[in-house]
Structure 1
């Protein structure tokens, strides 16, 4: 039996230990840098897409995936918040006249956008 083999399907190398081939894995000590939406995506993958999560962990692509999702979602959230604020009449003028109403509307918009993002992007 060969001491080491490489599986082209999953991109992992294996080393023979006794009668078994074990994957050659390295722990990445790098601190993750993803934000709120990356954390939400990670939690969703762990709970509902465990095979995909394990694949990303084993191939060392989890942090890259979570950073990409976080970046895309933040950009989309910014656009959606601007669009909804315009539709709901949340303007600088309202902010000057009634700050509490402005805050209330912006918080509502933020909650709606977060729910929409979770359904459309995080869970895909």
Structure 2
């Protein structure tokens, strides 16, 4: 009996009834922690970029890709916060003198930075 292309590259079959079914398995992927930004991008891929999601999943690169996106987004988020704090003159002294004002301004900066990261990295 001639070998199929699948058998020539080392694939194996298992018999189920009268049929031979190829034994397919995803390549092993190193598990990496994925944070908030990575999970948001995963949801975006599942909803809006289904082909990209499927390609990454079946090639075994999804977790690595999401961990990289998460790292890029987190670094950009932190840089934006630091830059905005300096531009608006928010210091530790303000935190000591008027904690509520400092908190309000920091929440505003975080919200602005999150919107920028979402627009630039997560939803593209």
Which of the five TM-score ranges fits, normalised by the shorter chain?
0.7 to 0.9
Question: What is the match of residue 83 of structure 1?
Answer: 83
Question: What is the match of residue 101 of structure 1?
Answer: 101
More strand, by proportion: 1
d(CA) in 2 for partners of 1:96, 1:25: 57
CA RMSD of aligned residues (A): 2.9
d(CA) in 1 for partners of 2:72, 2:114: 13
5+ residue gaps, structure 2, are none
Residues 18-69 of structure 1, C-alpha deviations (whole Å, 9 max, x = no match): 48x8682238697551101100110110111010001111011010000001
Question: What is the match of residue 113 of structure 2?
Answer: 113
TM-score (norm 2): 0.80
d(CA) in 1 for partners of 2:52, 2:13: 24
Residue 68 to residue 40, structure 1, CA distance change in 2 (3 Å): same
5+ residue gaps, structure 1, are 7-12
TM-score (norm 1): 0.80
d(CA) in 2 for partners of 1:14, 1:87: 62
Residue 122 to residue 31, structure 1, CA distance change in 2 (3 Å): same
Residues 44-97 of structure 1, C-alpha deviations (whole Å, 9 max, x = no match): 101110100011110110100000011111111111000001111211111111
